[in-house]
């Protein structure tokens, strides 16, 4: 499907993501793992007491896993193709299931030989094999998935996904053990939302590229706002329930207001806040501004309903929260003239060329998944810690997925799922934002980060997310 590559895409093929040397001279050592919720025992009897496995110096064995399957699940995130590239480099034969878990259930796949993977190295998107949001839960789906893995004699299956997709990975790992199917299942943390975060998982890949893309556009809009001096830009940002993306973009661009859903303000309180800032700015002669709105704000507004995905999540990207707020603010404002503009930044950040950070991080996650399958591990998710430090200092561990799960009401029923992590209102990223935001309301302090850079000094090309 690919058209001729642009010069930049071609140049990115030459980028070689760095990996910690422990992948050449390391082995897994058992490490303590978080105790899972006791009520999960009946659902995960075989994977419940799993330990974690940390990569430490040691004498490695080099026999790679023979056959591995891989699939993307959920929304795209930049870096995904590098997980596949690392698997392709680290396993005997790789096949990719098409369009997410559906490909596994329906046995729709394609061979991922080095030639096929080559043009996708360091490129954005998930278009090599596609993705989907199917939840594997019925006995028929589980059986079909197992039959596919047996038919292809897979040593391992790698599921690249967010919280719901890694819940799928845990369910499959348990089921395969129960059915004596020898395919091992390993999860890789992906999502631009940044909500697959915990003491065990520092960040998912894709967050850095998405937020840098949005921050570039917000910075440009802010400069337009300060130039034209007549518009109020209400910018809704993707990120489902959690406001991590909005917080990261706020720290990067310093808008006049950035709403954080987790603060729990009611709709009237939000409208009151916005009207107050707009009127104070008007009194200072400024009839323009930039306001960031997390799409997940919709989840915090009581009685606001909308469509839900197969996992039971409210599809907040389809709710026009920016327009809702513009309408409510307009009703309360006492200004003669006021020109709001609504924007939605979401899909434009999921498939960009990955930043160096995401290109490296995703490649390392793929190396870790290949090694886990080689060592016959299952029901674990790849975790890389110390991401702020140099790649050589990254600490690579496999963590039991069951330990990250809790019970949540989905479509009216309690379901075991990985908990989405919201913005920590006591954490350093949020508290440092709170210290500054008052200054940004009337006095313009916009920052303009500009586009993602791939060439130049490391201070341009290798920055890490500010919220890290």
Active site members: 193
> Minimum Å distance from CB 105 to ligand FBP?
18
Task: Please give the helix or strand (H or E) that residue 54 lies within, else none.
Answer: strand 52-57
Q: Is 135 in the site for ligand FBP (CB under 6 A)?
A: no
Q: Which of 65, 75, 340, 449 binds ligand FBP (CB under 6 A)?
A: 75
Q: In sequence order, which residues have a C-beta less than 8 Å from that of residue 393 and are 6 or more positions away?
A: 20, 386
Q: Which residues pair with 57 in a beta bridge?
A: 26
Q: Is 239 in the site for ligand FBP (CB under 6 A)?
A: yes
Q: Which stretch binds ligand FBP (CB under 6 A): 54-62, 149-157, 190-198, 258-266?
A: 190-198
Q: Which of 191, 213, 356, 397 binds ligand FBP (CB under 6 A)?
A: 191
CB 462 within 8 A of CB 357: yes
CB 389 within 8 A of CB 409: no
> Minimum Å distance from CB 75 to ligand FBP?
3
Q: Is 124 in the site for ligand FBP (CB under 6 A)?
A: no
Binders of ligand FBP among 84-113, rule CB under 6 A?
none
Q: Is 167 in the site for ligand FBP (CB under 6 A)?
A: no
Give the torsion sign (CA, 318, 322, 323, 324). Answer: positive
Q: Which of 85, 258, 316, 381 binds ligand FBP (CB under 6 A)?
A: 316
Question: 196 or 371, CB closer to ligand FBP?
Answer: 196
Other beta carbons within 10 Å of 315: 13
Distances (CA, A) of 302 to 257, 264, 266, 363, 423: 22, 11, 8, 41, 19
Size of the site for ligand FBP (CB under 6 A): 14
Tell me the per-residue interface mask from 348 to 387 with ligand FBP, x by CB under 6 A, - otherwise. Answer: --x-------------------------------------
For residue 80, which of 90, 70, 93, 66 has the smallest C-alpha distance?
70
Q: Which of 236, 240, 244, 415 binds ligand FBP (CB under 6 A)?
A: 240
Q: Is 184 in the site for ligand FBP (CB under 6 A)?
A: no
Q: Which residues pair with 190 in a beta bridge?
A: 205
Residue positions counted in the chain? 468
What CA–CA distance (Å, rounded) separates 72 from 87?
Answer: 13
Q: Is 162 in the site for ligand FBP (CB under 6 A)?
A: yes
Question: 271 or 352, CB closer to ligand FBP?
Answer: 352
> Minimum Å distance from CB 309 to ligand FBP?
6
Q: Which of 40, 172, 173, 192 binds ligand FBP (CB under 6 A)?
A: 192
- SS3 (DSSP) at 52: strand
Q: Is 297 in the site for ligand FBP (CB under 6 A)?
A: no
What CA–CA distance (Å, rounded) separates 209 from 213?
Answer: 6
- SS3 (DSSP) at 220: helix
What CA–CA distance (Å, rounded) separates 337 from 321?
Answer: 22
CB 326 within 8 A of CB 47: no
Q: Which of 65, 74, 194, 416 binds ligand FBP (CB under 6 A)?
A: 74
> What are the residues binding ligand FBP (CB under 6 A)?
74-75, 77, 162, 191-193, 238-240, 295, 316-317, 350
């Amino acid at each position: 499907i690919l058209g001729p590559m642009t010069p930049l895409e071609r140049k990115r093929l030459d980028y070689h993501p760095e990996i910690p040397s422990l992948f050449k001279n390391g082995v897994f050592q058992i490490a303590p793992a978080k105790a899972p919720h006791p009520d999960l025992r009946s659902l995960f009897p075989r994977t419940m007491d799993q330990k974690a496995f940390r990569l430490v110096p040691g004498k490695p064995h080099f026999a790679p896993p023979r056959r591995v399957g891989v699939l993307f699940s959920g929304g795209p995130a930049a870096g995904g193709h590098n997980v596949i590239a690392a698997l392709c480099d680290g396993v005997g034969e790789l096949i990719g299931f098409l369009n997410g878990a559906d490909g596994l259930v329906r046995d729709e796949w394609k061979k991922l030989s080095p030639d096929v993977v080559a043009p996708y190295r360091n490129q954005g998107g998930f278009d090599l094999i596609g993705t989907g949001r199917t939840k594997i839960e019925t006995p028929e789906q589980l059986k079909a998935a197992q039959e596919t893995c047996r038919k292809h004699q897979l040593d391992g299956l790698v599921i690249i996904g967010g919280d719901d997709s890694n819940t799928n990975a845990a369910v499959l790992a348990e089921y395969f053990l129960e059915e004596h199917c020898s395919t091992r299942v390993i999860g890789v943390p992906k999502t631009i939302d940044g909500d697959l975060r915990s003491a065990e998982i520092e960040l998912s890949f894709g967050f850095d590229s998405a937020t840098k893309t949005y921050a570039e556009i917000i910075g440009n809009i802010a400069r337009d706002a300060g130039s034209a001096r007549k518009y109020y830009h209400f910018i809704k940002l993707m990120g489902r329930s959690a406001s991590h993306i909005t917080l990261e973009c706020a720290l990067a661009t310093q808008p006049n207001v950035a709403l954080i859903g987790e603060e729990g303000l009611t709709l009237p309180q939000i409208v009151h806040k916005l009207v107050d800032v707009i009127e104070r700015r008007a009194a200072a002669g400024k009839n323009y501004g930039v306001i960031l709105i997390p799409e997940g704000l919709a989840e915090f507004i009581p009685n606001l309903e909308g469509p839900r995905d197969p996992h039971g999540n409210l599809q907040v990207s389809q709710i026009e929260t920016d327009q809702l707020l513009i309408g409510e603010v307009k009703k309360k404002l006492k200004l003669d003239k006021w020109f709001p503009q609504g924007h939605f930044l979401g899909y434009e950040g999921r498939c960009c060329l990955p930043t160096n950070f995401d290109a490296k991080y995703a490649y390392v996650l793929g190396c870790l998944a290949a090694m886990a399958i080689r060592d016959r591990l299952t029901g674990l998710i790849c975790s890389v810690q110390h991401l702020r430090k140099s790649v050589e200092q990254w600490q690579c561990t496999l963590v039991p997925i069951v330990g990250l799960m809790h019970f949540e009401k989905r479509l009216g029923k309690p379901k075991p799922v990985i908990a989405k992590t919201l913005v920590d209102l006591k954490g350093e990223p949020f508290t440092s934002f709170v210290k500054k935001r008052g200054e940004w309301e009337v006095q313009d302090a916009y920052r303009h980060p500009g586009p993602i850079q791939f060439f130049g000094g490391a201070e341009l090309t290798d920055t890490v997310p500010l919220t890290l």
